[in-house]
Chain A
Amino acid sequence: DIQMTQSPSSLSASVGDRVTITCRASQGIGKALGWYQQKPGKAPKRLIYAASSLQSGVPSRFSGSGSGTEFTLTISSLQPEDFAIYYCLQHNSYPLTFGGGTKVEIK
């Protein structure tokens, strides 16, 4: 199974800050990675697919990069509505695996 190691597990940041979240895959997955945002009591929502493609309707302050084993999600200027938990998901091979999540909290 491919392990997805996501870091940090939590972070505190202020509105306007630049935030970076990382996922490392235990073996190469090409660009078969997505990033998801989950708010309390809600289903996750896709932000990024194919490692770096922005989901339609998602603000351009979100961006993704990487390939192979190292991936990043960047929020260029954190907004109040961005406080949430973020997950990466690899879908290169079965079983599909998620990172452990990053909780983004208000400083």
Chain B
Amino acid sequence: EVQLVESGGELVQPGGSLRLSCAASGFTFSDHYMDWVRQAPGKGLEWVGRTRNKANSYSTEYAASVKGRFTISIDDSKNSLYLQMNSLKTEDTAVYYCVRVDRSGSYSFDCWGQGTLVTVSS
């Protein structure tokens, strides 16, 4: 069974840093693109960024709102995805989801974690 389990969300002050983790199981992690998506309280979904798969050197893409502040990385020995978040702003407050990208050809999101809440507040 495919599983994605996020962790690391907590209350952090503006300007602070936080690292989120996503532990993957039930599939060959290095074969898939993996994304982060966030949802501010009571709001819609926002794409945060992507890491491509091992065959594509784990190259990354980011939304403009986080580029230069957030970094996505992979430890494939641990089947884990990370989101390093620096210079956090109050508007980064959201539930952060780890998402697997379908590699069957559609390249849409076929599996989501349960999410982890990040609250940026003084």
CA distance A69 to B97 in the complex (A): 27
Minimum CB–CB distance from B80 to chain A (whole Å) comes to 18
Minimum CB–CB distance from B66 to chain A (whole Å) comes to 10
Report the interface size for chain B: residues with CB under 8 A from the other chain: 21
* 8 A Cβ contacts from A61-107 to B: 87, 89, 91, 94-101
| B110 CB–A CB distance under 8 Å | yes
A96 touches B106 (CB 8 A): no
B108 touches A49 (CB 8 A): yes
A45 to chain B: closest residue by CB: B112
Tell whether A46 pairs with B64 under 8 Å between CB atoms, given A98-B45, A101-B44: no
A89 touches B109 (CB 8 A): yes
CA distance A80 to B56 in the complex (A): 43
Proximity bits, B27-67, A CB within 8 Å = 1, else 0 = 00000000100000000111100100000000001011000
B63 touches A95 (CB 8 A): yes
| A28 CB–B CB distance under 8 Å | no
| Complex partner residue of B112 from A44, A49, A55, A99, CB under 8 angstroms | A44
CA distance A28 to B11 in the complex (A): 40
A87 touches B45 (CB 8 A): yes
B113 touches A43 (CB 8 A): yes
| Complex partner residue of B47 from A43, A45, A98, A101, CB under 8 angstroms | A98
Chain A residues within an 8 Å CB radius of B47: 89, 95-98
CA distance A95 to B36 in the complex (A): 12
A94 touches B112 (CB 8 A): no
